Each structure stands twice: as structure tokens, then as C-alpha cells.
Chains A and B, each alone.
Chain A
Amino acid sequence: MSVKVIIPTPLRGYAGKQESVDVQASTVGEALSSLTTRYQDLKKHLYADDGRLRSFVNVYVNDEDIRYLQKDQTQLKEGDTVSIVPSIAGGAAASNRE
């Protein structure tokens, strides 16, 4: 089924600068795998070397954190929204400094 994956600002550069990407998937794992197959650069930003989601990246189905659902195995329904929410630190825009 078709679900929308919302790409956060810091990762848009690795996903064709898109705000969201529609994918066909029945679980969260499938949705992310379809996304990272399409945008390979995104993979290292989402997954650690051991294949687990990075601890500064959270994934939500609608408004619920998948860590409290069935993680990667969380089932998706037609029209669900999957959000990738990484930690951001800015407050005084230190990102201006390189």
C-alpha cells in the first residue's frame, strides 16, 4: 500500500531535496528499505553499521514512535504517514560555522 514518508530538513539533501516520498510498503521496515534503495546516501544517515536504526533518529507512524509499536515490523495501512525525526541541535545557528 502507498504510504508517505516525511523527510526532515537535515536529510532532504540525501533524498533528492524532497519534503516527502511516497513508497509502497506494508511495514515500516519495507518503507525505509524502499526509501534507502531509491536514495542510497540516506542509508548511512538512518542505519548504523550493525543495521539498526541510529539512536539519534526516530521513526513515527502517524504520531506514534515505532519503538513503542513493533519497530521495523510495525504494520502500515494505506495512507499512513511515516515520519523520520532526527535530533537537531540549533538554537543560535552554530551551523553557520563550519
Chain B
Amino acid sequence: MATKLEVATASAALSNEEVLRYSRHLIMPEVGMDGQLKLKQASVLCIGTGGLGAPLGLYLAAAGVGRIGLVDFDKVDLTNLQRQILFSSSDVGRPKIEAASTRLRGLNPDIQIDQHETRLTSENALDLFRDYDIIVDGTDNFPTRYLVNDACVLLGKPNVYGSIFRFEGQVSIFGYPSGPCYRCLYPEPPPPGLVPSCAEGGVLGVLPGIVGALQAAEAIKLILGKGEPLVGRLLLFDALAMRFRELKLRKNPECPACGDHPTVTKLLDYLEFCGIRGEEAPAPQTSVPEITPRELKTRLDRGDDLFILDVREPHEYQICNLGGHLIPLGDLPKRVSELDSSREIIAHCRSGKRSAEATQFLQKAGFRKVLNLKGGILAWSDEVDPAVPKY
């Protein structure tokens, strides 16, 4: 229990204005002056200032976490604004880290914001993490998630983990003393070819808001040392069903990172570990016959008999289309009879990846005259008709 003297000394650390600012915390016994001072003395590193990082940063700053580190290297993009509530329309094109810092400093001028405008790598992770009490993982890719996990385990720092897909989220705390780590849950990442394709991408804008706020709550609880931290439990959230479920997580004695005989004793090359070279999974190296948007335009204008096959999903067709016949890639095998093999078929999707698969499939099925629209409807918009919206 705190002695009277300690409390008196400690209370001197909040200005009168801060007392007023945090009064709704201070009057709550679970936080109180002690807790508010713990928050003020705490440091949290947020990896990523995107969908998860936005509510996280805002709530940590509002709560008075004394030092918040931000790691990001991206620029604000118009497509970010659907969910990344740290940013305004006027921030488009600005470095995220700059826009985020301005916003957080505006919210709470009494705290320190550290800007780390860099990509998190195996070379810089340990040095960056060392300086903070808690690491919060709000990244968007497997290599960085394994990197964050391993660095946290090596340094013995808690990792408040959150991850989202479409309308489903996962939250847990890894790297807590005696608790499991991310590798206990998933020893290895999925190979690039098996992760869901672009057709199933996207995210409900409010989902990262909920998951990021859950991460903020866990980070704040860790700092306060109150309540039951989400350690050894995986929280699953389904926004569509509006249902939370909780699964048990155990520390795996055979875990390569935190088990009894760890083999991960230093940081690795995580792109290699995840089977990815370069920033994203490379497109499958298959050569299918292609047609460029300009060539297609010329041939259509000439009146050539071309059958446009759109292999995207119906909801994508609603956004924009080239008037093609819609058969989603996944339905192609069972709907192939709708196609006339005597006609020349131009397959297209959004970027040309799915339609390359469709072209290959049709070739194997005996279609001789199939061409893939190079670059998809995105390239069509760039090169032929800017009136077609990009998404």
C-alpha cells in the first residue's frame, strides 16, 4: 500500500490542469491518482498508425500515457479515411506519422509523442522496443507480426496484439511473463499463395475501431496493473454476428520462440520466413496470353467480336464494369458451359490476377482464344477511360 508521503510526492507530478483533465479517471478508485501517475510515467510503442493504431493512439493519448511512440512509414491515402480516424481529408498525401503526431498533440499537449518514421525491421526492432514498456501490434502483414512477436519475447515486453479481417477480429496479449506468445498460437505463417485473395479483401471501417479500442483498454490495464489482462485467452469478435467468443491459449513448451528450448534466439529475415520476397506476395509466375487496355479499346472500336468475361464478384461489378458477362472466378468451373469456345474471350478482373487464373483455367478446359486483360479494370481506368472508378 502506498504511504501518505508517497502519494503526496506523487500528486505533485500532476498540474492543476492535468487534475482537471483526468478528473474522470481520478475519481475512480481503479485509477485514482496512483493510476494516473502510472499512466503518465508509462511508455507505449504503437506499431502502425492505421486502422488499429488510430483508436489506440487516440485513447492512449487521451488517457494521459506519458510517452507514445509511433512507427509508420506510409502516407495518408484517400482509401484510408474510411476507417483510419486519426486522419482528415486534408491529410491525404501527408506522412501518416506527421499527421498522427499533430492530431495526438492537439488532443493532449502534456504528453510526449516519439515519431519513428521508418519501416520496422530485424535491424531496428530491438533498439526501438527497448525504450518502451509495452508494444502494441497494429500492423497489417505476417512478416511484421512475427517480427514484433519475436522481438517482444527476446526483450520480455508485453505485446498487445490485434488483427482484423473483413468483419472479424482477434485480440490477445502475448509475451507476458509465463503467458503464451504468437508463435505458441501459430508456429508458422500461411504461405503467400494460400492467403485469401483480393476478392475477399476489405474491412468494415468500424471493425479496427473496436479492435484497436480493445487493444487500448488492455494496454491501459497493463499499465494500471488492474483487472484481468487478456493473457492466455484469444478474444474473437465477429461484427456481423455481433458476438464475442473467447478461446483458451496455452504456452507451448515446444514453442520455437518462448518454449523450453527456444530456437529463435535472434531476429530473423521475416520476409523469407513468410515466403515473401519484396513487399507483397508476387503474382504467380504463369504466362498467359494478354491484351492491353489500349489494344482492347482499339479492337472494340473496330467492331471485333469479343466476349468480355468479368471474373470478379457481383459486388465489385456494381462498383464499375465494362459491360462484361459476370462469372466470379470461384464459380467458373461449374458455369463454364455459359461460354462459347468459338468466340474470342477477354477475361478481366480488378488488377489482372484473378483473370490470369481464369485464363489459365479456360485454356486447360480447351478454350483456344482467351486473352487476359493486362492490369484489369484498374489499368482500363488509367489508360482508356478515367470515368471508370478505381477501387
| Residues of chain A at the chain B interface (Cβ within 8 Å) | 8-11, 13, 19, 41, 44-45, 54-56, 58, 60, 63-65, 67-68, 83, 85-98
**Which single member of A58, A64, A92, A95 contacts B185 (CB below 8 Å)?**
A58
Q: Which of B114-122, B152-160, B166-174, B357-365 contacts A (4 or more CB under 8 A)?
A: B166-174
Q: Mark B124-141, 1 if CB is under 8 A from A, else 0.
A: 000000000000011111
Complex contact A85–B203 (CB within 8 A)? no
Residues of A contacting B140 in the complex (Cβ-Cβ under 8 angstroms): 89-94
B84 CB to closest chain A CB (Å) equals 7
**Which single member of B51, B170, B198 contacts A92 (CB below 8 Å)?**
B51
**Which single member of B138, B163, B166, B350 contacts A98 (CB below 8 Å)?**
B350
Complex contact A60–B186 (CB within 8 A)? no
CA distance A98 to B202 in the complex (A): 11
**Which single member of B74, B199, B203 contacts A93 (CB below 8 Å)?**
B203
Complex contact A91–B51 (CB within 8 A)? yes
Complex contact B202–A13 (CB within 8 A)? no
Q: Which of B33-41, B103-111, B189-197, B292-300 contacts A (4 or more CB under 8 A)?
A: B189-197
Complex contact A95–B201 (CB within 8 A)? yes
**Which single member of B141, B186, B330 contacts A58 (CB below 8 Å)?**
B186
CB contact under 8 A between A92 and B196, given known A63-B248, A65-B247, A98-B353? no
**Which single member of B51, B165, B250 contacts A88 (CB below 8 Å)?**
B165
User: B208 interface residue, CB < 8 Å from A?
Assistant: yes
Residues of A contacting B309 in the complex (Cβ-Cβ under 8 angstroms): none
Complex contact B141–A89 (CB within 8 A)? yes
6 contacts between A and B (CB under 8 A): A13-B199, A90-B51, A90-B163, A91-B138, A92-B138, A96-B79
CA distance A81 to B197 in the complex (A): 27
**A-B contacts besides A90-B51, A90-B164, 15 pairs, CB < 8 Å:** A8-B168, A9-B166, A55-B188, A58-B186, A89-B195, A90-B163, A91-B51, A91-B53, A91-B162, A91-B208, A92-B53, A93-B51, A94-B280, A98-B198, A98-B350
Complex contact B168–A56 (CB within 8 A)? no
Complex contact B84–A92 (CB within 8 A)? yes
Complex contact B247–A10 (CB within 8 A)? no
